[in-house]
């Protein structure tokens, strides 16, 4: 009869059998610092290193091990749970790449303190092309000029490439394991909860412009792209983040805006030369009238006719205001100012542009009609720049009709289906020749004997900077129609003072 003790002993694992099984598998017993204490026959077959060559070496150095996370994070998991398992990228003695599934078990001494780790692996058979592709991808990440950052679903940083270090000033060991919100300015911290929620839903965040903070506390504009990271089962386990510093781009855009503003200003000054003689004539008219009324008033005052004197003085005031308006329009046209887009009264801008353009012609030579949609009264615009566009189009229309028997201009505004406002300037000239149309908006191309040839090119740049477009069409009734669009402000929008 078999005793219970004998049965228990029979069922107890044989130490020699355990060691034999362990020796057959690719197994390593190592210290917590990675120093190898036992190297199995199975490990010799898998990696090519003999036991004598391996024992005493650090396993991660010997096998060129790359982990899916930082070693510090893996070690923390091992100490907390007593085990860790995952995939490792390693190399054999002859340089052959391996991807292995590895299971680590923490062993403790009699005092309960961690003493060593048993690591058992097996080759999961990833093919060489796949390994090469993974290596290329890793090289791209490490050499990228953009910051590439990994984080888990709690917002803890898990990966940090060299570009991130250069961009933010934190070394990998300083930032990995910390909340990613240390990179956020205080007023942007709330963004993280929204971003993580979108990642949990499997969404990708593409080219979101935001602001981030460096280690020294300085901030910079950044473009952010965020994508979910999934494990082999398809579950979302984290996010990869690509950040691009926009400081240089925004500085280039600022310099470009300054250059455009300078060109617009130079063009207005050039156009001023074409207005001077006509303006002198226009200003001389109220000045001559002021002189006449002043002389008449003096005579009437001497004659004791107080009522007529009062009338003469009123006429002097009216003519003075007329001269002031002419000069003010000119000053507004040529002044240099930064582009400022705000709600503006479109009919008022059209009225002022017409007044300025007709200064250069006798009013009876051209008939100007306006057909303005009341729903298109307010637009988002830079007042001076849009007046410059209108002035150019009106002047071109007037010049195009110099040889026409009928000289009429119609300025019309309508609200488009897109919510934009369209402004049309139609003339009764001969229309555009094909060779002129082909180069209509090219800079430094002109059919005039004098001029810079940049008027319509600048007009198109101005309109496009406003989010609209400028184009030309043949009018079915003869002549040409120039059209441009501007963003419409609904009726509730605030209109700047006229």
- In tens, the pLDDT along 159-218 reads 888 888 889 999 888 888 889 999 999 999 988 888 889 988 988 888 888 999 999 999
- How far is CA 300 from each of CA 63, 297, 307, 313, rounded to the nearest angstrom? 113, 5, 9, 11
CA distance 490 to 379: 8
Cβ atoms of 401 and 366 closer than 8 Å = yes
Where do we find the tokens 């149309």? 437
Residue bearing tokens 């990675």: 34
Find, among 247, 196, 245, 194, the residue nearest to 223 by Cα. Answer: 245
**What average pLDDT does the segment 308-334 reach?**
71
pLDDT category at 6 given cuts 50, 70, 90 is: very low
Site of tokens 């300085």: 218
Inform me whether the pLDDT recorded for 9 exceeds 80: no
Res 373: pLDDT: 92
Confidence of residue 380 (pLDDT cuts 50, 70, 90): very high
pLDDT band at 312; cut points 50, 70, 90: confident
Flag whether pLDDT at 399 surpasses 90.
no
Q: Is the pLDDT of residue 140 over 80?
A: no
Look at residue 225 in the predicted model and tell me its pLDDT.
87
Let me know if 312 is exposed, middle or buried by CB neighbors in 10 A (0-12, 13-18, 19+): buried
Q: Interior CA angle at 443 toward 442 and 445, to 5°?
A: 75
User: How confident is the prediction for the chain on average, in pLDDT?
Assistant: 78
- 59, 81 Cβ separation under 8 angstroms: no
Query: What is residue 421's predicted lDDT score, i.e. its pLDDT?
Result: 95
Q: How far apart are CA 191 and CA 240, in angstroms?
A: 16
Closest by alpha carbon to 465, among 384, 372, 352?
A: 384
Q: What per-residue confidence (pLDDT) applies to 450?
A: 41
Q: What is the mean pLDDT of residues 351-358?
A: 78
**Beta partners for residue 107, in sequence order:** 116
- Give all domains of the chain, ordered by start, each with its CATH number: 13-130 (3.30.450.20), 144-245 (3.30.450.20), 340-498 (3.30.565.10)
Q: Is the pLDDT of residue 8 over 60?
A: no
Question: Which distant-in-sequence residues (6+ apart) come within 8 Å of 230 by Cβ?
Answer: 236, 237
Counting residues of the chain whose pLDDT is more than 70, the rounded percentage is 74
pLDDT of 412 reads: 95
pTM of the model: 0.38
Share of the chain above pLDDT 90, in %: 18
pLDDT at residue 273 in the model: 56
The pLDDT, as a whole number, for residue 2 is 42
* pLDDT single digits (tens) 467-496: 999 999 988 878 899 999 999 998 654 444
Band of the pLDDT at 22, cuts 50, 70, 90?
low
**Residue given tokens 């046209």 in the structure block:** 333
pLDDT above 80 for 355: no
Please report, for residues 37, 58, 80, the alpha-carbon distance to residue 53 in angstroms, rounded to integers and kept in the order given.
Answer: 11, 11, 32
Residue with structure tokens 């009919």?
Answer: 347
Quote the pLDDT of residue 229. Answer: 83
pLDDT above 70 for 39: yes
Mean pLDDT of 304-333: 73
Give me the mean pLDDT over the 453-476 stretch.
Answer: 81
What mean pLDDT comes out for the span 123-151?
64
Out of 55-59, 80-84, 273-277, give the one with best mean pLDDT.
55-59
More confident call, 150 vs 263: 150
pLDDT tens, position by position, 70-123: 788 888 888 888 888 888 888 999 988 888 888 898 888 778 888 889 898 888
Say which range, 133-142, 244-253, 289-298, 413-422, has the weakest mean pLDDT: 133-142
pLDDT for position 468: 93
Q: Which of 325, 383, 398 is nearest to 350 (CA)?
A: 383
Instruction: Give 89 or 257, the one with higher predicted confidence.
Output: 89
Instruction: Give the pLDDT of residue 268.
Output: 58
HEC readout, the chain: CCCHHHHHHHHCCCHHHHHHHHHHCCEEEECCCCEEEEECHHHHHHHCCCHHHHCCCEHHHHCCCECCCCHHHHHHHHHHHCEEEEEEEEECCCCCEEEEEEEEEEEECCCCCEEEEEEEEEECCCCHHHHHHHHHHHHHHHHCCCEEEEEECCCEEEEECHHHHHHHCCCHHHHCCCEHHHHCCHHHCCHHHHHHHHHHCCCCEEEEEEEEECCCCCEEEEEEEEEEEECCCCCEEEEEEEEEECHHHHHHHHHHHHHHHHHHHHHHHHHHHHHHHHHHHHHHHHHHHHHHHHHHHHHHHHCCCHHHHHHHHHHHHHHHHHHHHHHHHHHHHHCCCCCCCEEEEHHHHHHHHHHHHHCCCCHHHCEEEEEECHHHCEEEECHHHHHHHHHHHHHHHHHHCCCCCCCEEEEEEEECCCCEEEEEEEECCCCCCHHHHHCCCCCCCCCCCCCCCCHHHHHHHHHHHCCCCEEEEECCCCCEEEEEEEEECCCCCCCCCC
Look at residue 389 and tell me whether its pLDDT is greater than 50: yes
Least confident of 28-37, 129-138, 139-148: 129-138
Q: State the pairing for strand pair 408-415/367-372.
A: parallel
């Amino acid at each position: 009869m078999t005793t219970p003790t004998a049965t228990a002993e029979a069922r107890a694992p044989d130490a020699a059998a355990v060691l034999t099984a362990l020796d057959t598998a690719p197994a390593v017993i190592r210290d917590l610092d990675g120093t190898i204490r036992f190297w199995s026959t199975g490990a010799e077959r898998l990696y090519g290193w003999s036991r004598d060559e391996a024992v005493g070496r650090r396993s991660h150095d010997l096998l060129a091990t790359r982990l899916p996370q930082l070693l510090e994070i893996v070690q923390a998991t091992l100490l907390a749970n007593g085990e860790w398992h995952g995939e490792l990228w390693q190399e054999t003695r002859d340089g052959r790449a391996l991807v292995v599934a590895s299971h680590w078990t923490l062993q403790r001494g009699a005092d309960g303190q961690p003493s060593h780790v048993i690591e058992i692996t097996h080759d999961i058979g990833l093919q060489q092309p796949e390994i090469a592709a993974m290596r290329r991808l890793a090289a791209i990440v490490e050499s990228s000029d953009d910051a590439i950052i990994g984080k888990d679903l709690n917002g803890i940083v898990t990966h940090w490439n060299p570009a991130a270090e250069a961009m933010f000033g934190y070394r990998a060991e300083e930032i990995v394991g910390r909340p990613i919100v240390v990179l956020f300015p205080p007023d942007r911290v709330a963004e993280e909860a929204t971003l993580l929620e979108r990642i949990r839903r499997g969404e990708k965040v593409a080219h979101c412009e935001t602001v981030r903070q460096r280690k020294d506390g300085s901030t910079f504009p950044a473009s952010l792209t965020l994508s979910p990271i999934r494990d082999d089962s398809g579950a979302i386990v984290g996010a990869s983040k690509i950040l691009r510093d926009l400081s240089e781009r925004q500085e280039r855009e600022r310099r470009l805006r300054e250059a455009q503003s300078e060109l617009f200003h130079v063009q207005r000054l050039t156009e001023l030369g074409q207005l001077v003689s006509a303006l002198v004539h226009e200003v001389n008219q109220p000045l001559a009238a002021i002189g006449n009324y002043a002389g008449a008033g003096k005579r009437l005052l001497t004659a004791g006719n107080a009522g007529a004197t009062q009338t003469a003085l009123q006429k002097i005031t009216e003519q003075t205001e007329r001269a002031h308006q002419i000069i003010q329009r000119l000053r507004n046209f040529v002044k240099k100012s930064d582009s400022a887009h705000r709600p503006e009264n479109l009919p008022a801008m059209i009225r002022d542009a017409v007044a300025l353009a007709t200064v250069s012609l006798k009013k009876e030579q051209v008939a100007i009609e306006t057909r303005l949609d009341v729903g298109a009264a307010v637009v988002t615009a830079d007042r001076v720049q849009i007046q410059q566009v209108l002035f150019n189009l009106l002047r071109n229309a007037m010049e195009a009709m110099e040889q026409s028997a009928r000289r009429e201009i119609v300025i019309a505004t309508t609200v488009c289906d897109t919510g934009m406002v369209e402004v049309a300037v139609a003339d009764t000239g001969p229309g555009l020749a094909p060779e002129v149309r082909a180069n209509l908006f090219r800079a430094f191309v002109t059919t005039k004997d004098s001029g810079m040839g940049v008027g319509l090119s600048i007009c198109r740049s101005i309109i496009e900077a406003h989010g609209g477009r400028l184009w030309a069409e043949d009018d079915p009734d003869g002549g040409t129609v120039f059209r441009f669009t501007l963003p419409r402000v609904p009726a509730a929008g605030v209109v700047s003072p006229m």
